[in-house]
Structure 1
Amino acid sequence: MPTTRFPRYFNIFHDKGAFAGLFFAALWAAACSSPPSYPTSPTETPPSIRPNAPGDLAPPLFTEEKRNSVFAGVAQITGTGFAPGMGPTCTGFLLDTSAPNAPAYVITNGHCVDILDAITVLSGFPADGLASFARFANPEGTVAPNTIDVRVNEIAWASMRGTDTAVLRLDRTLGSLTEAGIPSYRIRGFAKPGEAVHVVGIPIDGVPSEQQVLRRVDCTAHAPSRLLEHVWLWDQSQGGDCWGIRQGSSGSPVFDRNQQVVGVLNTTTIGAEKGGECYLGNPCEVGPAGTLHRDNTSYWMSLGELPGCFDDKGVFSLEQAGCPLEAGPPYQVLNANAYARPPAHFSLTVNSTATDPIVFKTGPLETTDCRSPEGYGGSLEMGALYEAEINASKGHVLFCATGKNSDGQLALRQAGFAVVEIDTTAPVRPIQLTVTTDENGALYEPVFSLPELASFRIKHGPTDTIDCANPEGYRDYAVVPVRVPSAELPVRVCVIGADLAGNPSPPSSFPIPHP
């Protein structure tokens, strides 16, 4: 795939007058061809773009359609993880800091830099990734020439605590990318409920590499809410009926009609299985009445306060008074039991590099906010096991822990948390059994499907005599396929599943005939 790369001395001549312009005109002519010019606003309003079904891909954005060129500042992000040059493939966008001489920054998700927990905060972490801008499609639907690749040299900040956001610093200035025709984008607050928005990203799941190009999806914003998914609780989230979201779409900007960014897309319920709401890949909104699951809904993190993290020279700094991101040592809640049946208990530890005493609070998820000072009290010893009964028979309970800043105020931005779901319902996902047979007999194994089917009890016997409803004879499945000799076939296999809270399913029956 042809690409256009900037020479490392590009910034030296930025804004240096006519000589610089002549120099680079000659340089580009010698290297290949002039870079395309990308306007900062669309020349016309595109027609509404919406896939036929939630899981379908949106059509590509073609390079010859000038109205698409405003999206050249959306990039594919690769190789930006803990290990140099390694990491997920995601989408990101170039941030407008109004500081042409400052480093350029790309915004994406925290999980796009290999953070997969609710305790890690990265700041000033070296990186060796790539941001590939202007990945439009040619008429054949493959990546067109004149993409612009820029190195990512630092994870300025990233986390999945409270927000799934990462700020990546590039090895070019914002001005150098602007001169190359790459637009940057301003951030605004939440979209209004019912407001038309559009997601522009580069999905990769099921897409050949040569067809991993920019795609746009139009949708309508819902009301903002907190969002719960697995171990993560995000404070400022918003959803919408945005279809066509797949792996690789993470980090996509969500634009309003003026191409201002209302959020960075991070998760979806598209393709989620029934049951196990609020688990991985199946997020839930958190509202006054508890959690709410919406089918075929995609979610984004609000970035409205992020510009407050940049100083007047356009440099990212956690020391800025208006920066909402965690700046100090995080308080980490470890080893918490995420699922329980009544009577339920907290069992966890709290860790931090801070030396102040730890205070904590607990309460219903829908009414408890770790970022609010109300309700904190008590005292916990660092690293000691905390165990206490949970006074709830259903729903989600939130545990918060923090200490104090140097000014004596609660370190609310660094508060750690854990969510426990009190679950009394049996699994609703059907149990599946994998069976392979040969001349020697059969092998069978039940299929795990977290959080609904997390463990199994099994037994098998003659088809006409075994009773799956009889609790006698069941044993724990040891995660090793069970062999039935050919001489014992046919048999009936009985399976009882249990979810992560330990709620059992009704028994399921699977006949295995003689081969």
Structure 2
Amino acid sequence: MSKTRLITSLALALCGSSLAAAEPVRSEDPAQRPEPGILTGAALTNAPLLRSDDVGADRFIPVGKLLTGSGGYHCTATLIAGPMSPPPNQPALILTAGHCVNDDMRANDVVIDQPAGNNWSYTPAYFIDTPSQHVPVAVSRTVYATMKGVDLAVLQLNATYGQLAGRGVHPLRLARVPATPQMAIELVHIPVVGVPIEEQFLRHSLCRTQTEATHLVEGYYPWFWSAAVANDCEGVAGGTSGSPVFQLGDATVVGVLNTTVTPGYTGCGLGRPCEPTDAGDYSREGSSYYMPVDRIARALNDDGTLDLAQLDPGNGVTLEREHPNWITQRNETIDGETRSARWGLRIGESFDWIWYKTSTARSVDCANINGYQGPYPSIDQSLLPLQTPAAEGVYALCVIGQTPSGFRQPYEHATVVLRQIDETPPTLAPQIHEQAGGDAIRVAPLFSQHELVDLFIKYGPVAQTDCQNREGYQRYRRNQYVTVDNTQAWRFCAYGADYADNAGPPTTRDYIP
């Protein structure tokens, strides 16, 4: 999941803690966001704190607290190594979620061999009953991090495997275990959002997978993950991002938790990931998702290093949207011109030729060479006028390129961009917030992320104001209140629109003295 800011500010269901996203949030009032992940009720029972003397707890000694950003962005990380014991003098590696390194990474971004922040640290064996042993280790480098297809990162510590072994901390191994529905798993994590500071330590969740690996969409870029696994793990909140997932009773890491469906949100967007299906986007209420770790497992060498040649280097075709909104109706209005929806993508200058193919986001397989068209000269910018399908749905565009030197981007490392056609109006009408005072009432509509992201209002005498008539509505400005004189009969109207500007039903509120 993401850091806290992903979850508290924008809810990136990414479950880290202390995250700030730079995406353009339309009409979101922080005062109207739901609580992101309070551990109450069943979560307290089903995600109990771990003690160092609990049966089997020694398996989780390599799992610890990760602080990134300016030192206040909470995630969870795990000490890892390849199948053989690494040399004791080799700098140690930890595994976490990609967004824990940088939650502003775009959908095709890759970070390789970059220095870590001055305040980044990892503290293993983060049990509630061993505070005197919570000695942080500085993180020295980001070896590899990406949000392209997966949400994973490998960081290097300013300590060797031998030094950590001297503290009783030994690396865990990774394995490729294909997910099957109802597979029993364990999640070991350190949630912090909504958790009292004296309880922000390792927790243990027993859970089951709900699906095989599936495609998943989230955010405003948006991110597109090709093999996310839904699960019913409880207690997931900001700080859980990057946590290891195990098969029940095993000590081999099979996944890394990356996001969750935030309670109280509607639609699809940051903090509410959706699975693209033939019937439309589907958000699985109460679920979280983990990323399989097979890509990283294949790249871990016996000498304790990471073979970057086995991973996507992120040097493919760059594509920039002509206009930022990736969700529109089948006809869009750009600069006053109404036209059929287009991909509207500008190709970067580093590649001379491109090949591309389109498909639904549900079924796309960019690594499969079948279906690609081209080559097309990049200078022609053929993706700017390329029309999207007219039917509603989420679509994927896979693009590979060739440089003047002859380098050709591998199909399995294709650049992927999503586009959604949405013709379905919201079913929600805005809720109304009231503040009484004296002879007047202050009234404001409430946003509902991500279903009602723009609001429109009008008000006037009851006899002269028809909420069903869309004439006279004005766009609502955030934190704007309308003062209603409660000595007269007034009517307040509000309706909302989604990201594609589909308008929902209006709310009517009468104020009769």
Q: TM-score range by the shorter chain?
A: 0.7 to 0.9
Q: Find the counterpart in structure 2 of residue 4 from structure 1.
A: none
Change (3 A) 1:119 1:327: closer
Aligned to 1:372: 368
The answer on 1:339 being equivalent to 2:288 is no
Q: 1:494: which partner in 2?
A: 493
Structure of larger gyration radius? 1
SS in 1 for 2:138: strand
Aligned residue for 2:192, secondary structure, equals: coil
- Give the counterpart of 1:386 among 384, 387, 390: 384
> Distance in 1 between the 2:350 and 2:64 partners?
38
C-alpha distance in 2 between matches for 1:480 and 1:383? 45
Superposition TM-score, scaled by structure 2 size: 0.80
Partner Cα separation in structure 2 for residue 211 and residue 386 of structure 1: 52
Q: CA RMSD, aligned part only?
A: 2.8
Matched residue, 2:311: 324
Residue 434 of structure 2 corresponds to which residue in structure 1?
435
In structure 2, C-alpha distance between the alignment counterparts of 1:426 and 1:122, rounded to whole Å? 39
User: Residue type of the partner of 1:71?
Assistant: F
Aligned pair in 2 of structure 1 residues 309, 216: CA closer, same or farther (>3 Å)?
same
Residue 363 of structure 1 aligns to a residue whose secondary structure is: strand
Which residues in structure 2 correspond to 1:40-119 (within 5 Å)? 53=42, 58-65=47-54, 67-79=56-68, 81=69, 85-86=70-71, 88-97=73-82, 98-100=85-87, 101-116=89-104, 117-119=106-108
2:195 counterpart of 1:210? no
Query: What is the CA–CA distance in structure 2 between the aligned matches of 1:121 and 1:204, rounded to whole Å?
Result: 27
Given the superposition, is the C-alpha separation of residues 294 and 482 from structure 1 closer, same or farther in structure 2, using an over 3 Å criterion?
closer
Amino acid at match of 1:386: L
Relative to structure 1, the CA distance from residue 64 to residue 313 in structure 2 (aligned partners, 3 Å threshold; closer, same or farther) is closer
Pick aligned residue for 1:260 from 252, 265, 289? 252
- Number of the residue aligned with 1:250: 241
Q: Which moved more, 1:70-79 or 1:443-452?
A: 443-452
Q: Does 1:220 align with 2:220?
A: no
Alignment of 1:465-504 (within 5 A): 465-479=464-478, 481-484=480-483, 486=485, 489-504=488-503
Structure 2: distance between partners of 1:288 and 1:493: 39
Secondary structure of residue in 2 paired with 1:481: coil
| Whole-angstrom CA distance in 2 between matches of 1:51 and 1:294 | 20
Shift in Å at residue 306 of structure 1? 1.1
Q: More deviation in 214-223 or 291-300?
A: 291-300
Instruction: State the one-letter code of the partner of 1:390.
Output: T
> Which AA in structure 1 matches 2:289?
Y
- Paired residues of 1:255 and 1:263 also in contact (CA < 8 A): yes
Check conservation: 1:252, 1:264, Cα contact below 8 A.
yes
- Unpaired runs of 5+ in structure 2? 1-38, 332-339
Whether 2:111 is the aligned partner of 1:122: answer yes
User: Unpaired runs of 5+ in structure 1?
Assistant: 1-49
Give CA deviations for 1:152-201 in whole Å, capped at 9, x if unaligned.
Answer: 11111111111111111101112221221013211111354232110000
The aligned amino acid for 1:147 is H
Measured in 2, the distance between the counterparts of 1:55 and 1:393 equals 44
- The 1:407/1:311 distance shift into structure 2, 3 A limit, reads farther
Q: 1:187 aligns with which of 139, 159, 174?
A: 174
Looking at structure 2, the residues matched to 118 and 366 of structure 1 have their Cα atoms a distance apart, in angstroms, of: 17
Q: CA deviation at 1:342?
A: 2.3
2-side partners of 1:487 and 1:359: how far apart?
A: 64
Aligned equivalent of 1:419:
418
Q: Give the Cα separation in 2 of the matches to 1:56 and 1:272.
A: 22
Q: Where in structure 2 are the equivalents of 1:306-321 lying within 5 Å?
A: 306-319=296-309
Q: Contact 1:220 / 1:242 at 8 angstroms: preserved in 2?
A: yes
CA displacement at 1:500 relative to structure 2? 0.6
Cα contact 2:109–2:148 (8 A) shared by 1: yes
Residue in 2 that maps onto 1:177? 164
Give, as a single letter, the amino acid of the residue that structure 2 aligns with 1:224.
Answer: A
Stretch deviating more after TM superposition (337-346 or 92-101): 337-346
- Residue identity over aligned pairs, in percent, reads 31
2:152–2:291 contact (8 Å) kept in structure 1: yes
Structure 2: distance between partners of 1:413 and 1:333: 20
Question: Amino acid of the residue matched to residue 353 of structure 2?
Answer: P
* Partners of 1:213 and 1:312 in 2: CA distance: 31
* 2:154 pairs with 1:167: yes
Change (3 A) 1:347 1:156: same
1:201 alignment counterpart: 189
Letter matched to residue 210 of structure 1: E
Q: How far off its partner does 1:349 sit?
A: 2.6
| 1:232 alignment partner, one of 223, 234, 240 | 223
Q: Classify the secondary structure of the residue corresponding to 1:386.
A: coil
| TM-score (norm: length of structure 1) | 0.80
One-letter amino acid matched to 2:112: S
More divergent stretch after superposition (396-405 vs 379-388): 379-388
Which residue in 1 is equivalent to 2:357?
361
Superposed CA deviations along residues 96-152 of structure 1, whole A, max 9, x for unmatched, are: 2331332111111111112333132211111130001111112xxxx6321231111
Report the count of equivalent residues.
Answer: 452
What is the CA distance between 1:509 and its match in structure 2? 0.9
Question: 1:246 & 1:112 partners in 2: Cα distance?
Answer: 14
Taking a change above 3 Å as real, the CA distance of residues 353 and 137 of structure 1, as seen in their structure-2 partners, is farther
The 2-side partners of 1:505 and 1:290 are apart by 18
Matching residue within 267, 284, 287 for 1:294: 284
Query: Is 1:349 aligned with 2:334?
Result: no
| CA deviation string 1:44-81 (max 9, x = no partner) | xxxxxx995368772110123353122111111112x3
Query: Following superposition of structure 1 onto structure 2, how do residues 272-287 of structure 1 map, counting pairs within 5 Å?
Result: 272-273=264-265, 275-277=266-268, 279-286=269-276
**1:9 alignment partner in structure 2:** none
Distance of aligned partners of 1:202 and 1:214 in 2 relative to their CA distance in 1, 3 Å threshold: same
Separation in structure 2 between the aligned mates of residue 72 and residue 396 of structure 1, nearest angstrom: 42
Give, in angstroms, the shift of residue 362 of structure 1. 1.7
Are the counterparts in 1 of residues 107 and 147 from structure 2 also a CA contact under 8 Å?
A: yes
In structure 2, the residue matched to 1:453 is: 452
The whole-number CA distance in structure 2 between the counterparts of 1:299 and 1:89 is 18
Q: Tell me if the contact between 2:486 and 2:512 (Cα under 8 Å) persists in the aligned partners.
A: no
**Closer, same or farther in 2 for the Cα pair 1:59/1:112, shift >3 Å?**
same
Partner of 1:25: none
Shift of 1:369: 2.2
Contact 2:455 2:497 in 1 (8 A): yes
Query: Take 2:172 and 2:349, find their aligned partners in 1: how far apart are those partners?
Result: 37
Distance, in Å, in 2 between the alignment partners of 1:288 and 1:464 is 46
| Alpha-carbon distance change, 432 to 487 in structure 1, aligned in 2, over 3 angstroms | closer
**In structure 2, what is the Cα distance between the partners aligned to 1:103 and 1:186?**
16
Higher relative contact order (CA 8 A, sep 6+): 2
SS in structure 2 at match of 1:471:
coil
